[in-house]
Amino acid sequence: MDASGSVGVGGLSLNGRVVVDEHNVFIQFMNQWYGERQGIRDALGKAKDGKNAQVWDELATPEGLRRNFDHLFSGDVSEGPLVEGVPTWKFEGRMNADGIADLARRLDSELTDAERAQLDKVAVASNLVLIVGQDDHLPRHIEFGIHLSAADLKAMQDSSSSTLQGAENGKATLELSEFGKPVEITAPQSFKPLDTLFEQLFSGFE
């Protein structure tokens, strides 16, 4: 995969690029490259060797995602728009708090009562739109947003123990196209470890 994108924060636009193959992943952010000599195949193999291998198997493949989708999201399916001449199905719904809490238990991350109450609020405030081809089942459009009330958002941000302390309102949209087109990955000449980027972006989260 070779993808470019931008994120708007107030009046500031941040641009980036992601290139991934079976054995490498590189991210360009703010004109700096970060990378790891571990790609899709290696990451899947390492995860399968972990203690949560069975759960990962269920979520890391198209078949597994289909089996678990109704457990993680609730909504309705209707006929979608034509995308590049392809007829599609459209799913629109929100997070299923019961299913996500169950997944957390399966991953040995039992939620506290307070965290579960906040998850319920986030689930109600969430919205997912997924558009896939009717025949090839390939995703063309993914849109996910969270719109919490001002009071709920402040309560989560002020919480000292919640895993949802960093909750924010917002919406992310991903458009996918040109399936099957060959992609040639060229590694950058120099790059910093990927962990360095994650530390910079998420240093305020626990």
Assigned domain for 90 exists: yes
Specify whether the CB–CB gap between 59 and 51 falls below 8 A: no
Average pLDDT over residues 101-124: 85
Residues with Cβ within 8 Å of 122's Cβ and at least 6 positions away in sequence, in order, are: 95, 97, 146, 148, 164, 167
Q: Please tell me whether residues 16 and 81 are part of one structural domain.
A: no
Q: Please tell me whether residues 3 and 80 are part of one structural domain.
A: no
Q: Please tell me whether residues 69 and 6 are part of one structural domain.
A: no
Average pLDDT over residues 117-121: 89
Average pLDDT, the chain: 80
Residues with Cβ within 8 Å of 178's Cβ and at least 6 positions away in sequence, in order, are: none
The first and second tokens of residue 205, run together, are 């989260």
Of residues 171 and 57, which shows the higher confidence score? 171
The first and second tokens of residue 128, run together, are 């997912």
pLDDT for the residue 107? 73
| Residue 71 clears pLDDT 60, i.e. is over it | yes
pLDDT for the residue 206? 40
| Residue 142 clears pLDDT 80, i.e. is over it | yes
Assigned domain for 100 exists: yes
Average pLDDT over residues 15-27: 83
Q: Please tell me whether residues 114 and 156 are part of one structural domain.
A: yes
Q: Please tell me whether residues 28 and 101 are part of one structural domain.
A: no
Q: Please tell me whether residues 39 and 82 are part of one structural domain.
A: no
Average pLDDT over residues 67-81: 92
Task: Return the beta strands (E) in 122-185 as ranges.
Answer: 126-133, 139-146, 170-175
Assigned domain for 55 exists: no
pLDDT for the residue 201? 64
Q: Please tell me whether residues 71 and 151 are part of one structural domain.
A: yes
Q: Please tell me whether residues 119 and 148 are part of one structural domain.
A: yes
Phi, psi angles (nearest 5°) of residue 41: -65, -45
**Residues listed for the chain:** 206
Of residues 201 and 138, which shows the higher confidence score? 138
Specify whether the CB–CB gap between 152 and 111 falls below 8 A: no
pLDDT for the residue 155? 79
pLDDT for the residue 132? 95
pLDDT for the residue 189? 85
Of residues 186 and 57, which shows the higher confidence score? 186
Q: Please tell me whether residues 87 and 134 are part of one structural domain.
A: yes
Q: Of 9-13, 48-52, 172-176, 195-199, where does mean pLDDT reach its minimum?
A: 48-52
Q: Please tell me whether residues 43 and 72 are part of one structural domain.
A: no
Q: Please tell me whether residues 99 and 168 are part of one structural domain.
A: yes
Banded model confidence at residue 30, pLDDT cuts 50, 70, 90: confident
State the total domains in the chain. Answer: 2
Name the residue range of residue 69's domain. Answer: 62-175
Q: Is 148 left (phi over 0), alpha (psi -120 to 50) or beta?
A: beta
Complete DSSP assignment for 114-127: HHHHHHHHHHHHEE
